Amino acid sequence: MPSEVSRVVEVWKQSAGEKIAQTLADPSQYDNLFPGIKDAMKTQQYLEKSTKPIPAASTSSVPVRTCCFHDSP
């Protein structure tokens, strides 16, 4: 989610050493370093407005699939 990138960068900066933190760019401050970030934000906003979550209760069931991880004879 493009809208979360700035928050994640801040978390990285806090956990990284000072020298590394200085090299991490935040797209909200340096959008020129992130080609397509504006389009990605617009796309996220569009999808948030145009899609509706489907409640889990509205599904009848989830099929359970069994699988074997060994070779069959």
Contact 38, 31 (CB under 8 A): yes
Domain boundaries in the chain?
A: 1-36
Q: Give this prediction's pTM.
A: 0.60
Tokens of 57: 């209760």
Render pLDDT for 21-53 as a digit per residue (tens, 0 to 9).
Answer: 999 999 999 989 999 999 999 999 999 999 887
Distance CA 12, CA 21 (A): 7
Sign of CA dihedral 15, 18, 20, 24: positive
Render pLDDT for 11-24 as a digit per residue (tens, 0 to 9).
Answer: 999 999 889 999 99
